[in-house]
């Protein structure tokens, strides 16, 4: 396997040390192949909002598996999950299930181009929409972690159709729209960015994007692969009160199994085959095991009225503790947090976009990461990824994390 991994950031290249190989996970904890236990803030990069191996999800998967693992035909489970999503996210009038977030964004892009008859897209520096050719330009996540401006293998003509704007800067979008008038099919955005670390879009910025897109007949596409069903029951659209034309999902919608989905306005979605001419298909799309894990996860989120207040409480407690520890150690830092998504940046200035995120001292982050790992706390091995808290994280887990961070910040401060 290239780099010994199946996804680049897992190789620990930017933080040093040997990557973890995981044997098992339960609740807030993971155990590696050597038997070391860690409190986990990666949560499989987002899906495990209930914690690992939640019995409701596991039992349902087992029951479904006994009736077959893949049909390549329709099943009731797809309808159940589709209805669930439609109810939680009102802008979703129709939905198509796929197998990953990458697949969802690539498909949404093709659809947006077909619907508008335009070729260009606008995305934001530091946002990551999976590894589709058109999105690998000034992208976040592993692309930012390894400092790659773009990727070889993407043709110049494809790259030329992707325009990058500055996150939280409406004027930068307006300028691109003016310069490419009548050519922009869609604006893609992570409304809570998780792939340059956690960075929140300002409410008025999102509303400004909505108004601009409506006025210019451009589709506004929210990539809610990370923040969907996480920052609120109805995701970022509920949190900010701004609807997207199309939305992409992944992670929580699959409850830890490989799922993605894209959906939105019925008049746009009707263009997908076989209703319309835009082709997109998949052998494992709507897979019964994946649908089951998604349904059970969304059900657990939906049925617990305290779900999001409890996550917020945990997040606030951890943020307070980390901030106090960093201040006491005298480490320059910023903590960005939206509910259960957060990032500690090693920088003095507020982090609102990719440029300010990149001001963070990644050497200090690496030192912090290694100290935390040694203390039994597993963080994303990159400054440019968000941490995730689950409802399974206990007060004791959070306090142990704060204690470990206190030691880590002291080490970082000493070595500056």
Q: Which residues sit at the interface with ligand HOZ, rule CB under 6 A?
A: 7, 9-10, 45, 128, 141-142, 195, 385
Residue whose beta carbon is closest to ligand HOZ = 7
> Is 278:272 a contact under the CB 8 Å cutoff?
yes
- Which of 41, 128, 167, 240 is the catalytic position? 128
Whether 251 is a known active-site residue: answer: yes
Sheet containing strand 341-345, edge to edge, reads: 334-338, 341-345, 387-388
**Nearer residue to ligand HOZ within complex by CB, 9 or 201:** 9
- Which of 29, 120, 123, 251 is the catalytic position? 251
Nearest partner of 252 among 135, 109, 64, 388, judged by Cα? 388
Sheet containing strand 162-165, edge to edge, reads: 94-98, 260-264, 246-250, 219-223, 184-189, 120-124, 162-165
**Least distance between ligand HOZ and beta carbon 234 (Å):** 22
**Nearer residue to ligand HOZ within complex by CB, 146 or 307:** 146
**Least distance between ligand HOZ and beta carbon 46 (Å):** 8
User: How is residue 332 annotated by DSSP?
Assistant: -
**Least distance between ligand HOZ and beta carbon 131 (Å):** 8
**CB count, 10 Å around CB of 318?**
25
Q: How far is CA 56 from CA 38, 51, 186, 296, in A?
A: 23, 11, 38, 7
**Nearer residue to ligand HOZ within complex by CB, 19 or 276:** 19
Whether 262 is a known active-site residue: answer: no
25, β-bridge pairs: 30
- Which of 40, 161, 223, 361 is the catalytic position? 223
**Nearer residue to ligand HOZ within complex by CB, 194 or 288:** 194
DSSP secondary structure of 253-293: GGTTSS-EEEEE-HHHHTTBTTTSSB----TTTT-HHHHHH
CA geometry: angle 322, 190, 339, nearest 5 deg: 35
**Nearer residue to ligand HOZ within complex by CB, 5 or 359:** 5
Whether 62 is a known active-site residue: answer: no
**Nearer residue to ligand HOZ within complex by CB, 222 or 409:** 222
**Least distance between ligand HOZ and beta carbon 385 (Å):** 5
Q: d(Cα 236, Cα 243) in Å, to the nearest integer?
A: 9
Sign (positive or negative) of CA dihedral 300, 302, 305, 309:
positive
Q: d(Cα 155, Cα 119) in Å, to the nearest integer?
A: 15
Residues belonging to the active site: 128, 223, 251
């Amino acid at each position: 396997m290239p780099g010994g991994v199946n996804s680049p950031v897992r190789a620990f290249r930017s933080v040093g040390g040997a990557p973890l190989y995981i044997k098992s996970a339960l609740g807030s904890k993971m155990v590696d192949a050597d038997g070391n236990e860690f409190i986990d803030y990666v949560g499989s990069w987002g899906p495990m909002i209930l914690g690992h191996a939640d019995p409701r999800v596991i039992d349902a998967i087992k029951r479904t598996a006994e009736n077959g693992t893949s049909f390549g035909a329709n099943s009731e489970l797809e309808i159940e999950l589709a209805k669930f999503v439609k109810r939680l996210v009102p802008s979703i009038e129709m939905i198509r299930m796929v197998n990953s977030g990458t697949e969802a964004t690539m498909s949404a892009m093709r659809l947006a181009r077909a619907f508008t008859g335009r070729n260009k897209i606008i995305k934001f520096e530091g946002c990551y929409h999976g590894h589709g050719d058109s999105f690998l330009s000034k992208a976040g996540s592993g692309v930012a972690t390894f400092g790659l401006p773009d990727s070889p293998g993407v043709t110049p003509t494809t790259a030329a159709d992707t325009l990058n704007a500055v996150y939280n800067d409406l004027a930068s979008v307006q300028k691109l729209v003016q310069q490419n008038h009548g050519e922009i099919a869609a604006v893609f955005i992570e409304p809570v960015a998780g792939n340059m670390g956690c960075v929140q879009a300002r409410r008025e910025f999102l509303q400004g994007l909505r108004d601009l897109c409506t006025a210019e007949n451009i589709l506004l596409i929210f990539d809610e692969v990370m923040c969907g069903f996480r920052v609120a029951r109805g995701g970022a659209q509920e949190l900010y009160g701004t609807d997207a034309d199309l939305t992409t999902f992944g992670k929580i919608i699959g409850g830890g199994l490989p799922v993605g989905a894209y959906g939105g306005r019925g008049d746009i979605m009707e263009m997908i085959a076989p209703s319309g001419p835009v082709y997109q298909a998949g052998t494992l799309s709507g897979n019964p095991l994946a649908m089951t894990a998604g349904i059970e996860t969304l059900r657990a989120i939906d049925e617990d009225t305290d779900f999001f207040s409890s996550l917020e409480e945990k997040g606030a407690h951890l943020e307070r503790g980390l901030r106090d520890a960093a201040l006491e150690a005298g480490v320059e830092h910023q903590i960005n947090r939206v509910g259960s998504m957060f990032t500690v940046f090693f920088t003095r200035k507020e982090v609102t976009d990719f440029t300010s995120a990149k001001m963070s001292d990644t050497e200090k982050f690496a030192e912090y990461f290694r100290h935390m790992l040694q203390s039994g706390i597993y963080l994303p091995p990159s400054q440019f990824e968000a941490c995730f808290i689950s409802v399974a994280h206990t007060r004791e887990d959070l306090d142990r994390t704060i204690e470990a961070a206190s030691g880590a910040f002291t080490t970082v401060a000493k070595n500056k």
